[in-house]
Amino acid sequence: MSVPNPPAAPAPQQLPPPMPPVDQAVTAPKKTNVLALIALVTAAVGFLFACIPGALIVGWILLPIAFVISIVSLFLKGDRKWMGVVGLVLSIVGTIVGFAVFFAVVANAAQEAFGSGDTVVSQPADEDAETAAEEEPADAAAEGTRENPYPLGSTISSSDWTVVVNSHTADGAAAVAEGNMFNDAAPAGSHYELVNYTVTYTGEESGTSMEVGVDVVTGAGNVVNSYDSLVVLADEFGLDELYDGASATGSQAFLVPDGETIVIRVSPGMLADEVFVQP
């Protein structure tokens, strides 16, 4: 009689691997804030272009874009938000730098267009004037001021213009009457005074004589311009366009209160320093 085989023992159950300690658990890597990275790069490139006068427009396009992207990136989830902060700062500073460069370029262009502010004056040769200048006290007013004007005939120059005041007529009533039949006589309590001068253009391209300023200042400190009175003279100074080396000569009439003394103020260019000439 055969003995039956005993039943097979059940296979031992495999236990799951033990969980790693909490401090050894692997954490998922944080996502990089891509938008912050884009903002940083855009702001950096825009900042560089904002510093280049010829490429300002590119900087002005990129910097506002970087500003908006930087702000948006700060509200998104992700690591390295510091890049968004840096991009935001760069976009603001770059805009300020861009405006500074722009105004510097405009100022330089205006200076080239209208001449520098440096005015040079050479006086006509006069031995008596030279002797008087040597005897002037040390505290005397600087030459060319209202208190110590240059004499008639002085050559007043800037980088673009040369001006010479040729003559002054204290009583210009006859010249005004002869200049045009529609000219009005001077109102009671005032009179016309005439200033004749010559301008010469010495710039690179061309300029108009209106860039030169000639007016008079009374002893009371009032400035009198030629357009304060609408009179036309026979040798009226026009709005001539001149090229390098060309000159124009003419007169202007100024309506001055009776009893007032005047000095002539000359600006040889729109940005040039003004000087005063004694009539």
CATH of the domain at 243: 2.60.40.1240
Answer whether residue 183 is part of any domain: yes
Asked whether the whole model's pTM tops 0.85, one would answer: no
Q: Are residues 251 and 176 in the same domain?
A: yes
Asked whether residue 21 is domain-assigned, the answer is no
Residue 136 lies in a domain: no
How does pLDDT run across 94-147, given as a tens digit for each residue? 888 888 888 887 776 665 555 555 778 787 866 555 544 455 555 556 888 999
pLDDT tens digits, one per residue of 176-193: 999 888 888 999 999 999
Residues 160 and 89 in one domain: no
pLDDT at 132: 47
Do residues 168 and 101 share a domain? no
Q: How many CA atoms lie within 13 A of 163 on its CB side?
A: 36
Element (H or E) spanning 100, and its range? helix 82-114
Compute the distance between CA of residue 276 and CA of residue 122 in angstroms, rounded to an integer.
Answer: 13
In whole angstroms, give the CA distance from residue 225 to residue 267: 13
Is 24 a member of any domain? no
Sheet holding 262-267, edge to edge: 223-224, 213-218, 262-267, 275-277
Same domain, 72 and 168: no
Phi, psi dihedral angles at 39 (to 5 degrees) = -60, -40
pLDDT value at residue 28: 52
Same domain, 166 and 262: yes
Same domain for 200 and 267? yes
Q: In percent, how much of the chain has pLDDT > 70?
A: 77
> Looking at 113, 135, 166, which one is the last position of a domain?
113
Tell me 93's DSSP state: H
Task: State both tokens at 209.
Answer: 């004589």
- Tell which wins on pLDDT, 117 or 221: 221
154 shares a domain with 230: yes
Q: Are 162 and 260 in the same domain?
A: yes
Residues 255 and 147 in one domain: yes
184 shares its domain with 251:
yes
- Domain membership of residue 79 as a residue range: 29-113
Give the chain's domain count.
2
pLDDT over 70 at 71, yes or no: yes
The answer on pLDDT for 149 being more than 80 is yes
Are 178 and 236 part of one and the same domain?
yes
Tell the residue number behind the tokens 């840096």, with chain if given.
86
Asked if residue 228 is part of any domain, the answer here is yes
